[in-house]
Amino acid sequence: MSTRQHSLVPVLKVRQWLPGWNKIDFDSDEYRSKPEKHFYLFSLSARELRSLSGIARRVAKDATPRTKDLGIQRQHDSKRSEEISRFVEYGFPWSTLSETKRASTNFNNLRKPGWLPTAIVLNILTKGDERYGSTVANSDLVSLVDVNGTTQLRLPYDTWSSDWSPKQLPPFEVIDGQHRLWAFDSATKLKDFELPVVAFVGLDISWQAYLFWTINIKPKRINPSLAFDLYPLLRSENWLEQEESHIVYRETRAQELTEVLWSFPKSPWYDRINMLGERNNRWVTQSAWIKSLSATFVRSWDSRHSKRSGGLFGGRSRQEGEVLGWSRAQQAAFLIFAWRQFRAAISATESEWAEDLREIAKQTASQSRKSKGLDPRKDFAFYGPHSLITTDQGVRGFLHVLNDIFYFRAGKLNLGDWRPDDRLSSDLESTVESSLKSLQEQKFSSFVTQVCERLVSFDWRSSSAPGLEEELRRAKLVFRGSGGYKEIRIQLLEHLTKEKGEIAGVAKRLLGQT
């Protein structure tokens, strides 16, 4: 980018700082360093603002901790931005009309001004601010200067390009309003449209997450699990653990994942979750699935229980670093893939416990009344009524072990390298399908398969299985009740320690044996 004459934009300096705020616990190690005591207001052409604000994809490398990234731009909904673009042109309800109706003159009476009075909130990156190992080039830095007693925003160029390289960050970092900016991506006739801006300077990353929460989540009852996708950092913010809303959006994400497992045709649990809690439905209830996911993959890291791992889709301690920025589709794809690999491994095994359950199924099939609702095409070692896998405890046990192992090995397996694809459709089913294909190309997918194959040799018969020796039946009764969740996790991990290799080593670490 060649050097051009500087542009100056008049700004209004807003001081918002109370004396009591000096007593707040500011901590740069927690990405909450003390901010400046003021922010700035100004307006700028939407197209110009868009090009300065890092709409282009940022590239992660070397498993850089996600706590250093806002993760907003990966969750772009193109349909939303397109509608905003139409709204700006002629307001509502004209923006919601079909293309054919908009092209005709029959609905011109519906045209109205498309005001966007709400400010874009952004952070002005300063010298040394780093994201994914990249910084703003000195020649691209934006500064605030005093001109004849008034504060001016000095922009380094009067002509802009959005062709930022991975090593070169744009000077503006969007905190809130990226969909509005994207609405001006290709709308050339809107190039002179100006947007109001609230700009902070050098604002630490945790305060940006805090601003997002106060703007989008706390005062409005929007879909609370949105925070899980937009701001991975929020998954590990300890100040949010004191808020009921934070628990709600974790449970909301757990419910969304449960619904995908139930509704996605290629899921092993397709139409095999008791969504309504019906008494005559033998599958694990939706409520139990939500509780299991909330206790495992969607769990937050708890500093009060430092020896316990967090949830792979939840948060991590600052020392552990990486917070996965996987989208809902990626999270669902990971769960579906793992369960599919587990089911495939069981289908291939000839272990005594599996053969026993298959034989029981054959005997049951000959008795029409007892076989009602059982599909003979399915492997009863996995799906049978006497398989522990189809119980609340079995589901929780598998999820627990899978989560803990991958949480522990997230950095080594470079899970963060699997990035959301901005180009994917907003349709969840097709996005999950695409994410499944993408996941199978990741190196860590083979590790998923290995874990599942090791778990197959565990005896997955429930205590209700006919023909069990009394001693074994009593041993399996320990899985019943709420205490069974902890017991099955321990027994599964102990089972994994019996073999050599990386998986056995991780299991020993999780059990505190090394």
Contacts of 355 (CB under 8 A, 6+ apart): 381
344 bridge partner residues: none
Relative to beta strand 143-147, strand 150-155 is: antiparallel
Answer yes or no: pTM beyond 0.85: no
- Extract the tokens encoding 151: 């504060």
Strand order in the sheet with 172-176: 12-15, 38-45, 194-201, 120-124, 172-176
pLDDT given for residue 230 in this prediction = 47
- Extract the tokens encoding 291: 């509780």
Residue ranges per domain, the chain? 7-220, 242-510
Which of 416, 210, 449 shows the shortest CA–CA distance to 320?
416
AA identity, residue 192: D
In eight-state DSSP terms, residue 214 is I
Whether the CB-CB separation of 421 and 74 falls below 8 Å is answered with no
Other C-beta atoms closer than 10 Å to the C-beta of 184 total 24
C-alpha–C-alpha distance, residues 63 and 247, integer Å: 28
Which of 484, 472, 504, 422 shows the shortest CA–CA distance to 56?
422
Which of 20, 16, 23, 30 shows the shortest CA–CA distance to 204?
30
Other C-beta atoms closer than 10 Å to the C-beta of 245 total 14
Per-residue confidence in pLDDT tens, the chain, 514 aa: 334 456 899 999 999 999 999 998 898 877 788 999 999 999 998 888 888 886 433 333 333 333 344 443 345 567 778 888 888 888 888 888 888 988 888 888 888 899 999 999 999 999 988 876 788 888 889 999 988 888 999 988 755 554 555 567 889 988 888 888 878 876 667 778 999 999 999 998 888 888 887 877 655 444 444 444 444 455 555 544 444 445 666 787 888 899 999 999 999 999 999 988 888 889 999 999 999 999 999 887 665 554 557 889 886 655 555 567 788 899 999 999 999 999 999 999 999 999 999 998 888 766 644 444 455 557 899 999 999 999 999 999 999 999 999 999 988 999 988 987 755 556 788 899 999 999 999 999 999 999 999 999 999 999 999 999 999 999 999 998 888 999 999 999 999 999 889 999 999 999 988 7
Which of 265, 181, 236 shows the shortest CA–CA distance to 66?
236
For residue 62, give the 3-state DSSP assignment: coil
pLDDT given for residue 391 in this prediction = 95
CA 53 to centroid of chain Cα atoms: 23
Which of 379, 355, 297, 345 shows the shortest CA–CA distance to 451?
345
Whether the CB-CB separation of 413 and 419 falls below 8 Å is answered with no
C-alpha–C-alpha distance, residues 396 and 485, integer Å: 6
Residue 405 burial by Cβ neighbours in a 10 Å radius (0-12, 13-18, 19+): buried
